[in-house]
Structure 1
Amino acid sequence: MANQQPKFHHQIGRSACALVIGLAALGGASHVFAAGKADNSTYKQEVAACNNGSSNQDRATCLREAGAAKYEAGRGNLTDPGQAQLKENAMKRCEGLPQINRVDCEKRMNGGGVADGNARDGGIYRETVTIVPGTPTSSQ
């Protein structure tokens, strides 16, 4: 009988520990429950895309990104940037280019030229054609 008492206390200790860990995990995940039905609907759609392979990412990365987006949306940190911010971001892509190339880049970002492709397929190819007169070569 003396051997059973420590075993019994050990089982109670293990159950209490599991209960504390479970409550801590539930408390840490409370932001997920507060995210709201709209965020949960978006999250479910993103997870479905991860699972059916239509996300253009590997499954693990996709699920991690969907969870991070849900978390940030629940905190109010995931917002729609709006057209003005998107336009500013597009123009920033041209800033690092030499001036001669920057002009064409800005034309492309403003809708000039021809665009082909999409982000899902790996990128948008934008092309402008600039005719630069050359100097004639002498034929001798």
Structure 2
Amino acid sequence: MKRPGFLPSAPLSLALASALFTASTLAMAQPSPAADAHARYEQERQKCMTNNTQDSLATCLREAGAAQDAARKGQLSNPGPQAADNATQRCSAFQNADEQAECVRRVNAPASGSVSEGGVLRESVTTTVVPQ
């Protein structure tokens, strides 16, 4: 008389073990949002401690902590295309079509600089030929 076993057959148990191993490996490879927020906080804190910002130490640490809290709550976002759309909409303040076009060209031009350097610098060079 055959008794039903509690262990599955060898090929099935090998496949099951392999699937569990793969799932656990993938879970460990994906950093949690909290771990990512903590890593970002540590980087910002290091910048504060090396006086690599324009803010005072207290302000820098307070801002880093606030950013970490917001990241944990899922309140940080990357504005991406929305920010670009807002920038081009601000060009509508110019009445002249040429000035609006120039504004849009400046907004879409490559920028240099950073917050630690004091802001973003956009340069626009326009060559005008004067008739003689």
Q: TM-score, normalised by structure 2?
A: 0.58
SS at match of 1:76: coil
Aligned 8 A contact 1:47 1:66 in 2: yes
Aligned 8 A contact 2:106 2:122 in 1: no
| Equivalent in 65, 84, 87 of residue 84 of structure 2 | 87
TM-superposition CA deviations, 1:96-139 (whole Å, max 9, x none): 3443533211111122xxx67402322313223152757x8xxx
5+ residue gaps, structure 2: 1-32
SS at match of 1:121: coil
RMSD of equivalent CA atoms: 2.8
Matching residue of 2:7: none
| Equivalent in 117, 121, 128 of residue 121 of structure 1 | 117
Identity of aligned residues (%): 32
| Equivalent in 49, 71, 94 of residue 51 of structure 1 | 49
SS at match of 1:118: strand
5+ residue gaps, structure 1: 1-34
Q: How many residues align?
A: 98
Which amino acid in the other structure matches residue 118 of structure 1? G
| Equivalent in 104, 107, 110 of residue 105 of structure 2 | 107
Aligned 8 A contact 1:46 1:66 in 2: yes
CA distance in 2, matches of 1:131, 1:94: 22
Q: Which runs of 4+ in 1 moved over 6 A?
A: none
Q: TM-score, normalised by structure 1?
A: 0.56
Matching residue of 1:41: 39
